Amino acid sequence: MRQVVLDTETTGLDWRRGHRVIEIGCIEVVNRRVTGEQFQAHVNPHREVDPEAYAVHGLSNEFLRDQPDFSEIAQAWFAFVQGAELVIHNAEFDVGFLNAEIKLLPDPSKLLQDMCEIHDTLDLARRLHPGQRNSLDALSRRYGVDGRDRTHHGALLDAQILADVYLAMTGGQTTLHFEGSASARRGTTPTGPNIGEQTHSMARSPLVVPANENELLAHRDWLRRLGIETLEGES
């Protein structure tokens, strides 16, 4: 299964008032593995950034004036997300902004929900943790996910964090990070992997390897960090 974890940064809080997308960040996950393939683009919004939004993401008007229009990056972004399940935290916000951008294209394409299935991790978190804070920061702390340097929010950075949080929420952390990959450089658009090569071994019988004592101790420590008590002798 191919998923794309997505986040955006914007000039303000409401696309209905003319606010625009200024950054898109996407992380590819295939069969619960972060592949290292990613997409990032900054966008010229052709309007000023609200001071409150600038305080969050630190993307200045001067920086954004030198960035491409959304129409210039749209086809590369469409190619990256087409047919994937999109994993988004508070999807209504991001999808509203991205659909508003799509509608402004000279030749509007399908809306985002017509290109992709959309999975909202905020809805999932509310079902798993009713009555608790379920922001990305709160979930990162709850699941012990490294928040990295978040002096300012960024779409690609938040997508990376959300990928870790989502995998932890849905069955355990199984990400692979490729810090030195060429596609990790700011502003690059990678080509997609050969998905078939990653699924050729799925039909084989699984090899069961019992955990050793050190692994059992580490597992118990992880459960304690999650606030889950275990019975004596349980793994």
Residue 61 tokens read as 């008007």
Alpha-carbon distance of 123 to 139, in angstroms, equals 13
Catalytic residue among 153, 177, 200, 219: 153
CA 25 to chain centre: 7
Superfamily of domain 2-205: Ribonuclease H-like superfamily/Ribonuclease H (3.30.420.10)
Residue 98 tokens read as 């991205």
Alpha-carbon distance of 177 to 17, in angstroms, equals 38
| Tens digit of each residue's pLDDT (9 = 90 or more) over 172-208 | 544 444 333 333 333 333 333 333 333 333 333 333 4
| Tens digit of each residue's pLDDT (9 = 90 or more) over 109-165 | 789 999 999 999 999 999 999 999 999 999 999 999 976 666 668 999 999 999 999
197 CB burial (10 A radius; 0-12, 13-18, 19+)? exposed
Beta bridge partners of 34: 29
Question: CA 123 → CA 46, 126, 130, distances in Å?
Answer: 33, 5, 10
Alpha-carbon distance of 61 to 84, in angstroms, equals 32
Q: Is 153 a catalytic residue?
A: yes
**25 and 154 in contact (C-beta within 8 Å)?**
yes
Would you give the DSSP letter of residue 24? Answer: E
| Tens digit of each residue's pLDDT (9 = 90 or more) over 52-88 | 999 999 999 999 999 999 999 999 999 999 999 999 9
Alpha-carbon distance of 6 to 136, in angstroms, equals 13
